[in-house]
Amino acid sequence: MATQYKNLINGKMVDNGKWLDVINPANEQIIGQVPDCGQAELDAAVAAARAAFPKWRATPIDERRAAILKISAAIKENHDELFRLLTSEQGKPHAQAAGEISGAAAIAAAQSTLSLDDEINEDSDKRLSRTRRVPVGVVGGIVPWNFPVMMALQKIVPAMLSGCTIVLKPSPYTPLATLRIMELIADIVPAGVVNVITGGDDLGPMITAHPDIDKITFTGSTATGKRIMETASKDLKRITLELGGNDASIVLPDADVKSVAEKLFWASFTNAGQICVAAKRIYIHEDIYDELSAAIAEFAKSVKVGDGAEQGTAVGPIQNKAQYDRVIELVQDAKDNGYKFLVGGDHDPNIPGYFMPITILDNPPEDARIVAEEQFGPVMPLMKFSTTQEAISRANNSIYGLAGSVWTSDAEQGVAVAEQLETGTVWVNEFLHLSPFAPFGGHKQSGFGVEYGKEGLSEFTYPQVITVAK
Ligand code: NAD
């Protein structure tokens, strides 16, 4: 029988006797089961979080920090077990899974150093006016399947630090490593402060609609984000939405082809392209297009796609069947329209697992679905441009505004282009780096609010102004 992973509710690991299967996307075998929860379990988790809130809010911040550091240490101590479990449920290669586990522990520790100090608005003969940040209460956290551990911690840590309590729901595709971490920390965190429950498609909407949850922090698709915003409007819940992206990379004519080729490849294909901030449209200046596209294609041929648990694998499977089918559909659309493939395009439907070969398209038109839509898979279109302004306007011609990158030998010129991109994050000559101290969030339909940094932390609070007459 597959290992059963329980939920954390009110400090105890529990189940309700109903189970959901979790499969390994590399071979479609069942690797674990998690509780299939509904309204009753959600009510219990929210009640526990509500009951724990007054005491946790009143706990000195240094004690809250210490609890976060203990969580970080527990993750570090169990690093090897956790990254293997993460690969088996998510599909990413061992090295990338290890990076997610150690990254989550490190970011939790770093974030725990943040604080929101009181601000003095007026200190005059007449009055003292001060703004303090007050925790909002019970937070509902909803997490996707591409970075399940990182995203869970990204929500749990600021909630705890700010003095909130949380009920978190992992994706039903990738709940195992998160629940294993909950088992490790169940005795470290006071009962009710952190609760994690699992369930099927109905559970997310129940969280969003729950009358005793004060704020939703969500990472996932733009379509789901819109549904959450709609439901949250019923009782004006606070919301933070980290949504989809269709990030553009702009390669200027002075970029060094050799060094950029490999970096652009990984900007696009890390985690099999399933990263919100992956490079999803690459615009290359016409002077270097042929040379750079050939170099990227050549490098792609050296990269092994396979089971993330096998040595040498650098790109794993797509995480789930629905996403696999969607990527196949986009590739088929490119074939039907006669677009040219530099590499890949043909998956083998007869092997187990959701494997798509590395696929690179040669200058498809701007309105091709593979360009206009977020692929979220190991598929990348390369496009040619003539002038920098043209590249900027094509990059900005998107409903999304999450991130982007600029590649050049002249950093100053890179910054000048970066400042014209309509996105929350822009990298010049690097990619995917996020800082726990800098706000991360999307413009346009990529999001609402931010995570990380003081700004991200403050979204778990509301400002209260206290004015005392003298
Ligand atoms: P998804 O929106 O399908 O699911 C995300 C989570 O929401 C899951 O836990 C799911 O069970 C839950 N959910 C589904 N429907 C819901 C509803 N109606 N109400 C409440 N919860 C609901 O997203 P996904 O497919 O898991 O993740 C991929 C998407 O996430 C991509 O678009 C990607 O760009 C985006 N993403 C964004 C960021 C970011 O920080 N901006 C980070 C990672 C992923």
Whether 192 and 165 have beta carbons less than 8 Å apart is answered as: yes
Compute, in angstroms, the gap from residue 279 CA to the centroid of ligand 1: 19
| CATH classification of the domain holding 23 | 3.40.605.10
Number of separate domains in the chain: 2
Q: Where residue 4 falls among pLDDT bands split at 50, 70, 90?
A: very high
Give the pLDDT mean for 405-411. 98
Q: Is 140 in the pocket of ligand 1 (CB under 6 A)?
A: no
Q: Whose CA is nearest to atom 26 of ligand 1?
A: 144
**Pocket perturbation via mutation, ligand 1, pick of 142, 203, 237 by most ligand atoms within 8 A of CB:** 142
CA distance 284 to 289: 5
Q: What is the DSSP letter of 304?
A: P
pLDDT value for 2 = 87
pLDDT digits (tens, 9 = 90+) for 332-371: 999 999 999 999 999 999 999 999 999 999 999 999 999 9
Neighbours of 362 (CB within 10 A): 17
Q: Whose CA is nearest to atom 16 of ligand 1?
A: 204
Compute, in angstroms, the gap from residue 246 CA to the centroid of ligand 1: 15
Q: Token pair 């697992």 is at which residue? A: 353
Residues 266 and 401 in one domain: yes
Q: What is the DSSP letter of 319?
A: S
The answer to whether residue 406 is domain-embedded is yes
pLDDT digits (tens, 9 = 90+) for 214-223: 999 999 999 9
> Residue 144's Cα: distance from chain center in Å?
7
Residues 171 and 310 in one domain: no
Compute, in angstroms, the gap from residue 189 CA to the centroid of ligand 1: 27
pLDDT digits (tens, 9 = 90+) for 454-469: 999 999 999 999 999 9
Compute, in angstroms, the gap from residue 232 CA to the centroid of ligand 1: 16
Residues 86 and 56 in one domain: yes
CA distance 27 to 65: 40
Q: Whose CA is nearest to atom 22 of ligand 1?
A: 204
pLDDT value for 326 = 98
pLDDT digits (tens, 9 = 90+) for 111-166: 999 999 999 999 999 999 999 999 999 999 999 999 999 999 999 999 999 999 99
Q: Is 169 in the pocket of ligand 1 (CB under 6 A)?
A: yes
Residues 431 and 456 in one domain: no
pLDDT digits (tens, 9 = 90+) for 180-197: 999 999 999 999 999 999
pLDDT value for 250 = 98
CA distance 403 to 446: 9
CA distance 246 to 234: 30
Neighbours of 336 (CB within 10 A): 8
The answer to whether residue 255 is domain-embedded is yes
Q: Is the pLDDT of residue 178 over 90?
A: yes
Continuous H helices in 190-345: 203-209, 222-232, 257-269, 289-301, 321-336
**Pocket perturbation via mutation, ligand 1, pick of 154, 201, 224 by most ligand atoms within 8 A of CB:** 224
Q: Is the dihedral of CA 146, 150, 156, 158 positive or negative?
A: negative
Whether 57 and 135 have beta carbons less than 8 Å apart is answered as: yes
Which atom of ligand 1 lies closest to the CA of 144? 26
Q: Whose CA is nearest to atom 35 of ligand 1?
A: 220
Q: Whose CA is nearest to atom 21 of ligand 1?
A: 204
Share in percent of the chain as helix, strand, coil (round to 5): 40, 25, 35
Taking the CA of residue 102 as centre, how many other CA atoms within 13 Å lie in the half-sphere pointing to its CB? 6
Residues 203 and 321 in one domain: no
Whether 110 and 437 have beta carbons less than 8 Å apart is answered as: yes
DSSP codes joined into one string, 94-132: HHHHHHHHHHHHHHHHHHTT-----EEEEESSSEEEEEE
Compute, in angstroms, the gap from residue 111 CA to the centroid of ligand 1: 23
Compute, in angstroms, the gap from residue 341 CA to the centroid of ligand 1: 30
Q: Is 320 in the pocket of ligand 1 (CB under 6 A)?
A: no
Q: Where residue 77 falls among pLDDT bands split at 50, 70, 90?
A: very high
The answer to whether residue 53 is domain-embedded is yes
Q: Is 171 in the pocket of ligand 1 (CB under 6 A)?
A: yes
CA proximity to 407, closest of 246, 263, 280, 247: 263
Q: Is 265 in the pocket of ligand 1 (CB under 6 A)?
A: no
Residues 68 and 174 in one domain: yes
**Pocket perturbation via mutation, ligand 1, pick of 36, 151, 171 by most ligand atoms within 8 A of CB:** 171
Q: Is 242 in the pocket of ligand 1 (CB under 6 A)?
A: yes
Residues 235 and 379 in one domain: no
Residues 222 and 115 in one domain: yes
CA proximity to 186, closest of 71, 96, 43, 55: 71
Name the average pLDDT for the chain: 98
The answer to whether residue 441 is domain-embedded is no
* Distance from the first to the final alpha carbon of the chain: 70
Q: Whose CA is nearest to atom 18 of ligand 1?
A: 205
Residues 181 and 252 in one domain: no
Which atom of ligand 1 lies closest to the CA of 231? 19
Please list, in sequence order, all residues whose beta carbon lies within 8 angstroms of the beta carbon of residue 236, skipping any fewer than 6 positions away.
none
Q: Token pair 């294909």 is at which residue? A: 269
Residues 234 and 260 in one domain: no
Range of the domain at 406: 248-435
CA distance 430 to 405: 7
Q: Is 246 in the pocket of ligand 1 (CB under 6 A)?
A: no
Q: Is 175 in the pocket of ligand 1 (CB under 6 A)?
A: no
Q: Is 403 in the pocket of ligand 1 (CB under 6 A)?
A: no
Residues 426 and 451 in one domain: no
pLDDT digits (tens, 9 = 90+) for 248-275: 999 999 999 999 999 999 999 999 999 9
Residues 198 and 280 in one domain: no
Q: Is the pLDDT of residue 85 over 90?
A: yes
- Would you please indicate which residues are annotated as catalytic (active-site) residues? 242
Whether 78 and 105 have beta carbons less than 8 Å apart is answered as: no
